[in-house]
Structure 1
Amino acid sequence: MSVANIAEAVLVLNSGSSSLKTALFVNREDQPIATCLAERLGTAEAVLHWSNEAGKTTYELTDGSMAEALAKVVELVEAALGSLAPLVAVGHRVVHGGESFGKATLVDEEVAAEIARLSALAPLHNPANLAGIHAMRDRCPAVPQIAVFDTAFHQTLPEHAYLYPVPKTLYQAHKVRRYGFHGTSHQFVSREAVKVASLPADDHGLIVAHLGNGCSATAVVNGESRDTTMGLTPLEGLMMGTRSGDVDPGLLSFLADQTGKTLDEITSMLNKESGLLGLSGLSNDMRTVSEAAEQGNQNAQIALDVFCYRLARQIMALTAALPKLDALVFTGGIGENSRLVRKRVTEHLRVLKIEIADERNADNGKSSNHVISPEDAAVKVMVVNTNEEWEIANQSLALLEK
Structure 2
Amino acid sequence: MPSPENFPRVLFITSHAFNHSNGGGVTFSNLFSGWPKDRLACVHNDPLPPETDVCERYFRLGTKELGKWGPFSLLQREPLAIATARQPEPKTRGATSPISSRLFTGVRSLLFGTNEFPETAFLSPELEAWIENFSPQVLYTILGSNGLMDLIELIRVRFRLPLVVHIMDDWRATSHVGGLLGPLRRKKMQHHLSDFMAIADHRMGISDAMCEAYEAEYGRPFETFHNAIDTEGESTAPIRRRPADGPFKIFYGGAVLPFAQLQSIIDVCQATASLVDRGMPVRFDIFSPPAMTGPHRESLLTCDAVKLHPPMPRRQDYLSAMRNADLLLLPVNFSDETIRFIRYSMPTKVPELMQSGVPTLVYGPCGVAQVDYASGYGWGYTVTERGVGNVVAAIEKISTQEPLRDRLTDRARRLVGERHNIDRVRAQFRAVLADAAIR
Fold-level match, TM-score > 0.5? no
Rg comparison, structure with higher value:
2
TM-score range, shorter chain: 0.3 to 0.5
- Higher share in strand: 1
**TM-score normalized with structure 2 length:** 0.34
